[in-house]
């Protein structure tokens, strides 16, 4: 690599390290809440609500961090982003008069678009199963919104089926993310030892 490529590689390395650290912190929040739920059944509903919020923070935080890495990886690999992809990454849209406004995709579209774009930028093929786990993960955000804006006390209750779907959803997200990172890491300009530093947490039980 020439000096310019080395500089770009170093920038990608720093962004990726921050992404993984972010992911590990957010997962640790879920792990702690799961531990407390297991050992504090008296406050089961409270800890379920904490876990739901933490799972959504993991999803949104990780997608945002991935979007922060995409432009640098695209620059390094000489991949041009389309206007639509730029909107997805920047979460803003430029209007005809030159002004910009926020542009946010619904979570089910955001998940697909970000994961697929991340793979494209790194030149890898990733088989993503948008199955019941994906549906469960998306449903978790609907549940979180209900918890944040309850119309009555009944909407604060998280029943077993909703909670189970959310846990399956977060397992799906974790598994999918690990698979995506494993493939993309093969294309990154780091040594094998450097890549080993990015260890992702295992899936939830």
In a domain, 160, yes or no: yes
Domain interval for residue 174:
3-196
Domain assignment present for residue 203? The answer is no
In this predicted structure, what is the pLDDT of residue 190?
Answer: 63
The 10 Å CB-count burial string (b at 16+, else e) for 102-134 is: eeeeebeebbebbbebbbbbbeeebeeeeeebb
- Answer whether 50's CB lies under 8 Å from 34's CB: no
The answer to whether residues 45 and 147 touch, using CB atoms and an 8 Å cutoff, is no
- Is residue 202 in some structural domain? no
Q: Is residue 150 part of a domain?
A: yes
Distances (CA, A) of 136 to 13, 81, 145: 32, 30, 14
Q: Could you give the CA distance from residue 123 to residue 118 in angstroms, rounded to a whole number?
A: 9
* Residue-level pLDDT at 64: 92
pLDDT at 193: 43
| Cα–Cα distance, 198 to 196 (Å, whole number) | 5
User: What's the number of domains the chain is made of?
Assistant: 1
pTM given for the model: 0.86
Is 140 within the bounds of a domain? yes
Supply the pLDDT for residue 195.
44
Residue 148: beta bridge partners?
none
pLDDT in tens, the chain (205 residues): 788 878 888 888 888 888 888 888 999 999 999 999 999 999 999 999 999 999 999 999 999 989 998 999 999 899 999 999 999 999 999 888 888 899 999 999 999 999 999 999 999 888 888 899 999 999 999 999 999 999 999 999 999 999 999 999 999 998 888 888 888 878 877 644 444 444 444 445 4
Instruction: Tell me, yes or no, whether 15 lies in a domain.
Output: yes
Q: For 167-184, what is the HEC assignment? A: HHHHHHHHHHHHHHHHHH
In a domain, 114, yes or no: yes
d(C-alpha 181, C-alpha 161), whole Å? 30
């Amino acid at each position: 690599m020439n000096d310019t490529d080395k500089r770009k590689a170093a920038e990608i390395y720093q962004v990726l390290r921050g992404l993984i650290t972010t992911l590990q912190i957010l997962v640790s929040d879920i792990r702690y809440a799961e531990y407390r739920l297991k050992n504090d059944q008296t406050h089961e509903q409270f800890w379920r609500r904490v876990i739901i919020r933490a799972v959504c923070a993991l999803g949104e935080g990780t997608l945002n961090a991935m979007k922060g890495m995409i432009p640098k990886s695209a620059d390094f690999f000489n991949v041009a982003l389309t206007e639509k992809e730029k909107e997805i990454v920047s979460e803003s849209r430029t209007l005809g008069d030159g002004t910009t406004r926020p542009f946010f995709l619904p979570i089910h579209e955001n998940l697909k678009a970000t994961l697929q774009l991340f793979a494209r930028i790194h030149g890898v093929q990733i088989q993503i199963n948008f199955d019941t786990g994906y549906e469960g993960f998306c449903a978790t955000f609907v549940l979180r919104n209900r918890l944040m804006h309850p119309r009555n006390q009944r909407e604060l209750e998280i029943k077993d089926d909703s909670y189970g779907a959310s846990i399956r959803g977060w397992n799906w997200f974790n598994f999918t993310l690990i698979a995506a990172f494993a493939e993309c890491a093969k294309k990154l300009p780091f040594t094998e030892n450097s890549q080993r530093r990015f260890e992702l947490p295992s899936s939830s039980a």
